[in-house]
Structure 1
Amino acid sequence: AADIRAFLNGASPPPDGLALDPDLRWLLWLALAATGHVDAADLDGELTRDNTGSGRTAHLRALAARPDADVKAAAWTAVLTDRTLSNEHLDATIAGFRAGGRRDLTARYDTEYFAAIRGVWGERSIEIARRIVVGLFPDCDTVALADGWLDAHTDAPGALRRLVLEQRDHLARDLRARLFNAAV
């Protein structure tokens, strides 16, 4: 992390042949953010350097990626309530929320997710609702919450049920793969 920060900040040259274009810079800042090696001020500094549309989107993703309970709570709230987020900014906030795979920070939202999706589906545009339903689907250790929601919401709109069923199936495959890999 220190070496990456050093060449991002210009304190040392990057490895030979590595061109630090804005996309690569943001990927590196995202990795540092997700692992807790930067703060908002660092990311704001990079935004000053790359204050473009893609830079602002990457900035949102990196801000939401920081491994802090308050940061995750703010990202969760923004995704569900901030109607000003563009499609790209919504996706970036969701990706940041999910970054790092920190279940210790995101597991508390599993039940809230299933409590919220019916309302999201009814209140938001189809495209925004789809992005939220798919993007925030919990990475649980079981499909029980999804099965419970599906059993309790047989009257939910067909498209919403289909998305939940698809995400549930993705999770079930992932859980089988984890079990297989643990046995190998």
Structure 2
Amino acid sequence: MPFLSKEAEPYWNPYLSGIGLGLVLLLTFLVMGRGIGASGAMTSVVATTASVISPHTTAANDFYQGYLGDGTVSPLKDWLVFEVLGVLIGGFLSGLFAGRTRIKIEKGAAITTNRRFQYAFIGGMIMAFGTKLARGCTSGQALTGGALMNVGSWLFMISLFAGAYATAWFVRRLWV
């Protein structure tokens, strides 16, 4: 089996992977009536956790009530939660079978491990804020919104790539 060998399997062809992802998106539209995305699942988990920790606060909060409803159905039963769990489990199994499950920290020579974690955390927080501001994660905006030809989704992705390239120019020195 590949995960028992020392060498990692080659990556899949990106064009074939893109076609596969497009077919998954099409199937999602046909079966569920909506596209894919991950931020809705995260919000469902946060709303459920908040309602367990502080039910009075969430009962008085309109934002949480949009996810919690009348309490008869758990927000964790939303299909997006299962989608994200499937992505996590599938990603791990894919890495396992391809021989890519070694634990390592990707960083340049000019940065310490602690600084790398700090930058990753800060970047994650910026992306999380942007996700809520844009009303959707990159997968929802790019894949679902892009497939539906939503102008806002296309502007979001163009801005995301422009911002990423601009940021890369400034942080490049940390990696080379």
Task: Please classify the TM superposition score into its range, dividing by the shorter chain length.
Answer: under 0.3
Q: Work out which of the two has the higher radius of gyration on C-alpha atoms and give 1 or 2.
A: 2
Normalised by the size of structure 1, how large is the TM-score?
A: 0.22
